[in-house]
Amino acid sequence: MSKVEKAMRLVGRSRSIYESNVKAYLLTGSAGAGSLLLEFTTLSRLTGDPRFEDAAAEAFFAIWNRRSELGLIGNGIDLVSGIHTPRGL
């Protein structure tokens, strides 16, 4: 089963979805994890519940640990494989 077919099954869409639309579900921006860390850390500190900060830190470090040999992070990440990709592919 291809990555696109798996994604279609995950999002519960019919086979009539164009492949490019499915790919949009599979790619996300790397900056989101950094933004979540800031926002969810604040939420945890305000509520006294560390779960928000812990979840955001886990997402941030999942992306950070996938940086290149040069220490660079791609601007997009494939949600299935975890590989950094240029956005729009």
- Give residue 88's region: left, alpha or beta (phi > 0; psi -120 to 50): left
Give the pLDDT confidence score for residue 34 in this predicted structure. 77
pTM of the model: 0.60
Give the pLDDT confidence score for residue 62 in this predicted structure. 84
φ and ψ at residue 14, rounded to 5 degrees: -80, 170
Give pLDDT tens digits along the chain (89 positions): 666 566 656 655 555 555 555 555 566 777 777 788 899 999 999 999 999 999 989 888 888 888 888 888 877 777 777 777 765 44
3-state class of 78 per DSSP? strand
Q: Tell me, what DSSP letter sits at residue 68?
A: -
Give the pLDDT confidence score for residue 75 in this predicted structure. 79
Give the pLDDT confidence score for residue 76 in this predicted structure. 78
Token pair of 8, please?
């279609």
